[in-house]
Amino acid sequence: MANQPVAIVTAAGRGIGAACARALHAKGYRLALMSPSERSIELARELGGIGFSGSVTEQADIDRLVGATLETYGRIDAVVNNTGYEKYSVVEGSFGAAFNWEAETDPLDVPDEYWHEALDLFLLNVVRMARAVTPVMQRQGGGAMVNISAICAQLPMLDYPMSSTIRTVLSSFVKLYTDMYVRDGIRMNNLLLGYVANLDYPDEAYHTIPMGRAASLDEIARNCIAYLGEDASYIAGENLFVDGGVNRSL
């Protein structure tokens, strides 16, 4: 039991986060889960882990989560930095093709305070977790983090103005972090997700996806775990598309 690896998952109450938690549990990980609602507490109970109600936009909540994880399990091997949706996204917008000038959103209409909120939600969530977990992983001799991001981080889409800009910052941060800490055995990678089956898309959306379908939550979770594991031991600082072939750039 004590040889089982330990993983932290944020925004674990539902969707991608909950699927990652279940998949990690199936692989033998011991879990520490957090989400703004009570759902991650219930899920943790079901999976025999520890659960907290808290937000990745609060350093104190992250410190509490990391502290409790260490107290309970004595180590942290893996972190999945999952987070919420952006306020300004328009799901009924364009699909596949990045360009939709008819998008209801105009990036100039996004108020300054939403830009700052998005920085807290899509970038500083990872920075804060990295501050808390890096010394732990350094002491242990290593660890792995996967950040759940979106393809629009690298293929900007008007329908998702904050994901398309602030998440780009995360694509750079993962490289800076790797420059500094991969020598301590800590790997950090971003998963850039395309269409995921937890949302409904109009039929025409699927015509723009080479695979013709959205990703299932389970296959995102399997992918996430693969990048946390030893099979990916030489992959660090990468932005990895998990998008059914939508990405065009080489």
Partner 1 sequence: MTDRPAAIVTAAGQGIGAAIARDLHRRGYRLALMSPSTRSIELADELGGVGLQGSVTEPADIERLVEAATGAYGRIDAVVNNTGFEKWSVGLESKQPYFNPDAKAHLLDIPDEDWHENLDLFVLNVVRMARAMTPHFREHGGGAFVNISASCAIEPQSEYPFSSSTRAALSSFTRLYSDKYARHNIRMNTILVGYVENVGDAETYSHLPMQRAASFEEIARNCALFLSEETSYVTGESIYADGGHHRAL
CA distance 118 to 227: 25
Q: Interface with partner 1 includes 194 (CB under 8 A)?
A: no
Q: Interface with partner 1 includes 123 (CB under 8 A)?
A: yes
Residue 164, C-beta contacts closer than 8 angstroms, at least 6 positions apart:
152, 153, 156, 157, 158
Angle at 55 between CA 86 and CA 107, to 5 degrees: 20
**Least CB distance to partner 1 at residue 38 (A):** 27
Nearer to partner 1 among residue 1 and residue 108 (C-beta): 108
Q: Interface with partner 1 includes 248 (CB under 8 A)?
A: no
Residues 87 to 116 in contact with partner 1, rule: CB under 8 A: 98-101, 103, 106-108, 110, 112, 115-116
Q: Which amino acid is at 149?
A: S
Q: How many residues bind partner 1 (CB under 8 A)?
A: 42
Sign (positive/negative) of CA torsion 183, 76, 129, 20? positive
Altogether, the residues listed in the chain come to a count of: 250
Task: Return residues touching partner 1 (CB under 8 A).
Answer: 59, 98-101, 103, 106-108, 110, 112, 115-116, 119-120, 123-124, 127-128, 130-131, 134, 153, 156-158, 161, 164-166, 168-169, 171-173, 175-177, 179-180, 183, 250
